Structure 1
Amino acid sequence: MLEKPSEESSLVIRKIRAVSETQLLERLKTTAFFQKQTPFFGRGVNIGNTLEAPREGDWGPRLKAKHLDLIQQAGFDSVRVPVRWSSHASNTAPYTISPTFMKRVRWVVDEALRRDLKVMINIHHYEGLYANPEQHSDRFLALWRQIADEFEGAPPELVFEVLNEPHDNLDAGKWNRLLADALPIIREKHPERTIVVGPANFNSIDALQFMTLPRDRSNLVATFHYYSPFQFTHQGAGWLGDESKQWKGTTWIGTPEQQRAVRNDLDRALRWSVENEIPIYLGEFGAYQEADIDSRNQWTRFVADEAIERRIGIAYWEFYSGFGVYDPKKQRWHEGLRDAILGK
């Protein structure tokens, strides 16, 4: 069923379990697994629209050392650095990554680590892989061999995320098989480094249940992304077409119903984490700049604090572009948004 068979399929549900939201969270908090957890990667921010743009600078500023200074001085614990390796590697075997681009990624990693920021790098926006997994799987694995070689011996504060938001034709079944191939390649040079894995369908909470985990889950963390309610967080987002314009004016004021929806979603992610005994990380959440700033601040603070209460680490999307917490033109923070992420 996960691989879209041409013939009709049926699904038999043998057991349905209902638990009230308050009872579920309190039950999860009593488990031994939960009690030994801390929020993985703390409170962080994505360096989005930078190294995962087709070319750095296409979608926003080029990252500079002063930007990392600002992030560190503000009190963030970590940065997630999305990287579009696929635009900087040859299309034929051995699929060599551009030395210039590799050097650039290395600079970002080293400079962030030097500022005592934990760093996560991934493979991001590999559009060919999403569209045609069979054609691009060898190239994807070759990219990871090169990344693993380049960062062999790096401090443990550097973490690898295997792939951002598998989707399209890279469905759960195909992604599970590719993930099973990728992990041993990374582990060959990084047997103890933390590796982050996320489910298909854009790292959605609903798809966590379909992700196949290896037997050895040591140094493994799962991730999900959260942009709900979507008509609020993506109102006016030009890449979504005219429909998003119709969402303009959607607010989030923290009504009991709005809060309950967020709590229920995060509880589902936490329940999956506890039942599978694997830490979980909110790798992206954010609201686009077209939403009113008061709603953005309230939604961001609520999601961040509720996640941290569940010992789920967070990374806001993102630093200085369309969802940004920092205005690069005015060279100043959106202070309410920054404080909301940091819990101040």
Structure 2
Amino acid sequence: MRRFKIVIVILVSLCIIPVCFSSVLGEIPTVFTPINRSGDAASGLGMRRGINIGNALEAPQEGVWGVYIEDDYFRIIKEAGFDTVRIPIRWSAHAESYPPYRIYDDFLQRVDHVVSKALEQNLITVINVHHYEEIMYDPEAHRERFIAIWRQIAEHYKDYPETLYFELLNEPSYNLVDRIWNELVEETVKVIRESNPTRKIIIGPTRWNSVYKLEALKLPDDENIIVTFHFYTPFEFTHQGAEWVSPSPPIGRKWIGTEGEKKQIRDELDIAVKWARKHGNITLFMGEFGAYSKADMDSRIRWTSFVVKEAEKRGIAWCYWEFCSGFGAYDPVTGRWREGLLNALVSSKHYVSVETDAGSILGAGWYEEGSYATIRVVETSIGFPVTSVFDHFEGLRPEDRLIDTGVVELYVDGPRVIKAVWRKDYTLLLGTVAAVCVIAVVAVFLYRSRVKTK
């Protein structure tokens, strides 16, 4: 009897092991090969494609937010295909709180070093006033100090190359309303022009540099003004899981690239373009855009690539947020770019990806606009005794070409994502169970026959 029980245990185990093994086989990752290639940039400025070195000099102290600017960063940025770097700076934390509001020498020397290293790489270098939170809540009390800080910055850098640009203030908001901001812009630009008559000055609207507040922005009569806006649409996607946002958008939202999703981005960019044309073709600069690392990487790549290409089609210069922190395109630990994000920023190609719950898919990656991406399911039937059988692709469009079972050619006119749908086939499992039952019955019969003969 004991031998009979052992036989049954072995038979059951033989049924279970293939099922477990099948689940492991289903975890083969999607394959893609990013290609790093610079595309065309449409802006009339030398400033076209940039990146922010955020969370460094705009932190309360450089390094406390995890980023200390290394000299080699600027070479890395330049060689990757960028022509511009934006350096956010919290001057207000390094200046006296009483007249004449002197900027501390040691901090100014540190900024000098960083700016010089950027300019040595022939990068257009944007410095701004960043995280001056006090002026947002009490603008009248900080008006004099803000202007004094800019007077010192302008005087100090007056002999620097014209490729050093000034940006007045990052994301004016809260009590710094349109009327007060417009007055402050006019007064500050006059002060800067005393020592820098032709330097580029970047100015943005209120409500965190929103395109929806461009109409309220009043600009000085100055041909060297650039207008900036920031772009994080849809916010629920780009800021999901962001710890500094309250309430924080829930994690898990994807950006697939549906017609509705793409229209939302195009419409918002068009607001900026129409405003710029209405006011004499003012040069536009998308000074910040990016998706936080809590979003899935494929969605971040698709969103970034689409925003970049739509901005460039409209002649909008841009500056990705940011280099090597929570939104970072560069990994400072490995010393390498996150290739998918880098390609999204500097490649002329579009990203094609496939979602799948089983099997292995070939063909995802980067493709030229107007081409076809061949997507192929490596094996259309996998697993034992429960088999996953490829059924169909979801997300195909009329212009796509279905070549064979598990093979499709996708027309690439932007980021594309499709899903490979699988169904479960229990035929082998049922056959295995039936075989086990037959063996068990035979074993019982033989055992009883043997007992009777004794």
Specify if TM > 0.5. yes
Partner in structure 1 of residue 10 of structure 2:
none
Distance 1:185 1:342 in 2: 37
1:312 matched to 2:294: no
Partner in structure 2 of residue 293 of structure 1:
297
SS at match of 2:86: strand
Among residues 295, 305, 325, which one is paired with 1:321 in the alignment? 325
Give 1:37 deviation, angstroms. 5.5
Distance 1:61 1:159 in 2: 23
Residue 242 of structure 2 aligns with an amino acid whose one-letter code is A
Among residues 267, 270, 285, which one is paired with 1:264 in the alignment? 267
Distance 1:60 1:116 in 2: 26
Partner in structure 2 of residue 105 of structure 1:
111
The structure with the greater share of residues assigned to helix is 1
**Aligned positions, number:** 306
TM-score by length of 1: 0.87
Give CA deviations for 1:119-172 in whole Å, capped at 9, x if unaligned.
000000001100100100000000001000110111111100011100011011
Distance 2:87 2:101 in 1: 22
Among residues 202, 207, 217, which one is paired with 1:211 in the alignment? 217
Structure exhibiting the larger radius of gyration computed from Cα positions: 2
SS at match of 1:62: coil
SS at match of 2:244: helix
Contact 2:289–2:319 (CA under 8 A) maintained in structure 1: yes
Distance 2:292 2:271 in 1: 25
Give CA deviations for 1:2-51 in whole Å, capped at 9, x if unaligned.
xxxxxxxxxxxxxxxxxxxxxxxxxxxxxxxxxx9525611100011111
SS at match of 2:265: helix
Contact 2:53–2:87 (CA under 8 A) maintained in structure 1: yes
Partner in structure 2 of residue 12 of structure 1:
none
Partner in structure 2 of residue 247 of structure 1:
250
SS at match of 2:63: coil
Distance 2:134 2:301 in 1: 36
- Most deviating of 312-321 and 331-340: 331-340
Give CA deviations for 1:275-325 in whole Å, capped at 9, x if unaligned.
112111100000000000000000001001100110000000000001111
Partner in structure 1 of residue 171 of structure 2:
165
Contact 1:40–1:281 (CA under 8 A) maintained in structure 2: no
Distance 1:152 1:217 in 2: 18
Among residues 151, 156, 161, which one is paired with 2:157 in the alignment? 151
Distance 1:40 1:65 in 2: 23
- Superposed structure 1 runs of 4+ greater than 4 Å apart: none
Contact 1:40–1:311 (CA under 8 A) maintained in structure 2: no
The structure with the greater share of residues assigned to strand is 2
Contact 2:50–2:86 (CA under 8 A) maintained in structure 1: yes
- Describe how 1:25-174 pairs up with structure 2 within 5 A: 38=44, 41-174=47-180
Give 1:261 deviation, angstroms. 0.7
Residue 186 of structure 1 aligns with an amino acid whose one-letter code is I
Partner in structure 1 of residue 416 of structure 2:
none
Residue 297 of structure 1 aligns with an amino acid whose one-letter code is I
1:236 matched to 2:232: no
Distance 2:77 2:345 in 1: 12
Contact 2:139–2:176 (CA under 8 A) maintained in structure 1: yes
SS at match of 2:334: coil
Give 1:58 deviation, angstroms. 1.0
Give 1:343 deviation, angstroms. 2.8
Give 1:55 deviation, angstroms. 0.4
Give CA deviations for 1:194-215 in whole Å, capped at 9, x if unaligned.
111001110000000000111x
Give 1:330 deviation, angstroms. 2.1
Distance 2:222 2:315 in 1: 19
Contact 1:305–1:343 (CA under 8 A) maintained in structure 2: no
Give 1:240 deviation, angstroms. 1.2
Contact 2:43–2:312 (CA under 8 A) maintained in structure 1: no
Q: Give % identity.
A: 47
Contact 2:43–2:317 (CA under 8 A) maintained in structure 1: no
Partner in structure 2 of residue 9 of structure 1:
none
Among residues 314, 339, 342, which one is paired with 1:335 in the alignment? 339
Residue 339 of structure 1 aligns with an amino acid whose one-letter code is N
Give 1:61 deviation, angstroms. 2.1
SS at match of 1:238: coil
Distance 2:337 2:66 in 1: 16
Unaligned runs of 5+ in 1: 1-35
Distance 1:124 1:224 in 2: 14
Partner in structure 2 of residue 195 of structure 1:
201
Give the alignment's Cα RMSD to 1 decimal: 1.2
Contact 2:301–2:344 (CA under 8 A) maintained in structure 1: yes
Contact 1:165–1:201 (CA under 8 A) maintained in structure 2: yes
Contact 2:50–2:82 (CA under 8 A) maintained in structure 1: yes
Give CA deviations for 1:206-228 in whole Å, capped at 9, x if unaligned.
000000111x2311110100000
Among residues 177, 184, 208, which one is paired with 2:183 in the alignment? 177
